[in-house]
Amino acid sequence: MRKSVWKRFVRYTIFLPLKILCGILLTAIVLASIPYALCPIYDMPATVPHSGAVLLNPYSAINDTTSKATWRKANFHAHSVAWSGLSHGNSSLAALSASYKRLGYDVAAVSNYHRMDTLPDFATNYISSYEHGYNVRKAHQICVGAQDVVWTDYVFGHWMPQKQHNIKRLKEVTPVVILAHPIWQGAYSPESMRFLTDYDGMEVFNHFRESLELFDSAWSAGRTPWAMGADDSHDVNGVGENGVCWTMLYATSSQKDSVLSALQEGRCYAVKLNSLLRDRWRGLGEGHLRDSCLNALNDCRLQRLTIQGDSLTVMMDSNVVMMRFVGQSGAVRSVVTGQNTTGYRFRADDTYIRIEVISPNTTIALNPVFRTANGSSPHASAMVSLFKTALSMVLWFMVYGSMAWVVYRRVLFRGRLGRPSR
């Protein structure tokens, strides 16, 4: 009798809850896998390096002396307290807004997870922004100027089809899609950057990580993302979080249309304080670089970038310690020190050339000058493959069918066999 009671106790207090829990987990996994089953498969455009006799200069507009546009300091990636404190953000909207106002930003937006909020000090020229993504690999995107929030994601992580599908869905309601901290936790690999299309830019500078390797991978494959910088601040009082990375925009105003146009056309560049890159530039010697304070202003700006034939000339306004000219596959083509104005002549095997400028306070990553056939920027876009998508769905249907058969065999069919005969 006591043994029977013990068996019942174990059965109903241990094994039964475990079975229920396993059932719930299995159901949740199956439900979370459904988006993968429905994900379209894409034919990716060929990965062909930039080519042609005409060099495209994304900064040609700044050479117009009659232009009313100016350089404006901007940040689109920062977090405040949201969702009743459930998401990662430790500052109020008012504190975050006041911080960017004090630091001299012309454009600032808050990018809480799947939520569009407003910074009070920048409400007049409000630009919506939010961070999309809740997957385990942190393959996130910053959606600037978004009309709506896209809630769907692939929670177990992304392969190429899921990465591309997310970007496609976001672009339907978002004028500017930026890959957030792309190198962090391997969210995007150099190989994936060779194929992905339809996004506008990537955070090459983020206070968590630097992603210039991925930037070069995309450009070497003939893609055209623009370089951007962002704090990704989660705490205005956190050391090295606020006012350490930003995007410079060449725009006629701080209003939405002007800002979005500059981002889409590449009239922008990324900036990061050298205090976050100290080890990288240690070889220059302490006499050349200063320990940047967190409210550092731009001590060096792009003034001109001109093209004549197969040569480019870049002019910074002051304080250049070093310029590096980087080309195909991230190869350093030339290094010039101590000159505010210098030039570079394209070699026959140069498909693009981007310039890194190091000043005492900052490192600047300019967008590339690149080869084109007719002087217009190419637009590669992945297309859905109906055959591959149908085949993928058939395979998923077979997986679900097999799981249903197993459940039937182990639960329903076994139950019938266990009934006593009359």
> CA angle, corner 327, sides to 326 and 331, nearest 5?
75
Three-state DSSP state, 337: strand
The alpha-helical segments, DSSP class H, found in 177-253 are 190-195, 212-220
Mean pLDDT of 209-223: 97
Q: Give CA–CA dist 315/301, Å, rounded.
A: 9
| Cα R_g (the chain), whole angstroms | 26
User: 178 — phi, psi (to 5°)?
Assistant: -120, 130
C-alpha pair distances (Å), 310 with each of 31, 128, 147, 302, 323: 56, 40, 42, 20, 19
More confident residue, 341 or 405: 341
The share of the chain scoring above pLDDT 90, in percent, equals 68
Q: Give CA–CA dist 333/353, Å, rounded.
A: 9
Closest CA to 200 of 220, 221, 180: 180
pLDDT at 163: 97
Q: Give CA–CA dist 266/225, Å, rounded.
A: 8
Q: Give CA–CA dist 269/249, Å, rounded.
A: 7
For the whole model, what pTM was predicted?
A: 0.89
Strand partners, 131: 113, 142
Range name among 40-44, 77-81, 367-371, 372-376 with the lowest pLDDT average: 372-376
CATH architecture label of 54-372: Alpha-Beta Barrel (3.20)
Q: What confidence tens digit (pLDDT) does each residue in 144-188 have?
A: 999 999 999 999 888 999 999 999 999 999 999 999 999 998 999
Range name among 43-52, 252-261, 345-354, 410-419 with the lowest pLDDT average: 410-419
DSSP at 186: G
348-361 as b/e, with b when 16 or more CB fall inside 10 Å? eebbbbbbbbbbbb
Q: Give CA–CA dist 147/264, Å, rounded.
A: 16
- Residue 189 neighbours by CB under 8 Å, 6+ apart: 214
Q: Give CA–CA dist 197/180, Å, rounded.
A: 15
Q: Give CA–CA dist 147/138, Å, rounded.
A: 23
Mean pLDDT of 15-44: 84
Q: Give CA–CA dist 367/69, Å, rounded.
A: 18
pLDDT at 417: 47
The residue with tokens 């200069």 is: 57
